[in-house]
Amino acid sequence: MTHIEDALVHGSDVARTFGEGAAAVVAVHDAHCVVFPGDHIAVMGTSGSGKSTLLHLLAGLDEPTVGAVTWPVIGTRSQLRPGPVGVVFQSPSLMPALTVLENVTLPLLLAGMERDDAQRQARQALGTLDLEELAEKLPEELSGGQAQRVAIARILASCPRLILADEPTGQLDHATGSHVIDALVAVATTTKAGLVVNTHDPAMAERFPTRWTMADGRLTTPEVCTCSA
Ligand code: ADP
Ligand code: MG
């Protein structure tokens, strides 16, 4: 039996509306969901179905209009970053003026780690993803797949509890995208983190043991039937 107090994130009756009155768009409504350590979940749905809105709510990057999102084993919204919650976007959002190593080191410095320790931990994360040889390169010198894997190494360095990825393979060809999903799953498995990946590609979703579906802002998650009748 799994208990909500052991969850990494719990969304209860969550809704998010953008705009007001006649122009209001209900991007997510009545969403109930929970992610536990070790869960690997793909969120499927067409463009505009509300996947990004849901992910931003689970990441604490946005707040629900109705309902509540909590992070029972992590803490409050202000304790999510840098560190426990790592977010990967469609484009890697690396700082263009910083080298790969500096990019991976930066969140650790911001979290208060000493420079030597931060660099050691960042190099270790790059090594885990076979990216050591890119350490001194600038983001503009990387391929799309390499940049996305550096973004994943940056999360790994901060020892994540929960990894949320919003269409991380959306701008990559299938083989490169597959390699990026491999990296995400490997990092989540090594760290025993929970992993949630948004995708509109059924072939990517197939690779996850659990699949949620978004359609018109409505989330469907597989539920264990507890009814006895
Ligand atoms: P998906 O990621 O599945 O493509 P989104 O969560 O981006 O879907 O969007 C869901 C709906 O909410 C869409 O109709 C979109 O236009 C709307 N939406 C998303 N973000 C905003 C915003 N910041 N302002 C207004 N409408 C938004
Ligand atoms: Mg989206």
Per-residue model confidence (pLDDT) at position 2: 77
Name the pTM for this structure. 0.92
- What local confidence, expressed as pLDDT, does residue 83 receive? 83
For 65-77, the pLDDT digits (tens) are 999 999 999 999 9
Low-confidence ranges of the chain (pLDDT < 50): 225-229
Q: Does 52 contact ligand 1 (Cβ within 6 A)?
A: yes
Question: Which ligand is closest in space to the CA of residue 50?
Answer: 1
Please choose from 20, 53, 65, 214 the residue to mutate so as to test ligand 1's pocket, defined by most ligand atoms within 8 A of CB: 53
Query: Using CA atoms, how far apart are residues 122 and 104, in angstroms rounded to an integer?
Result: 6
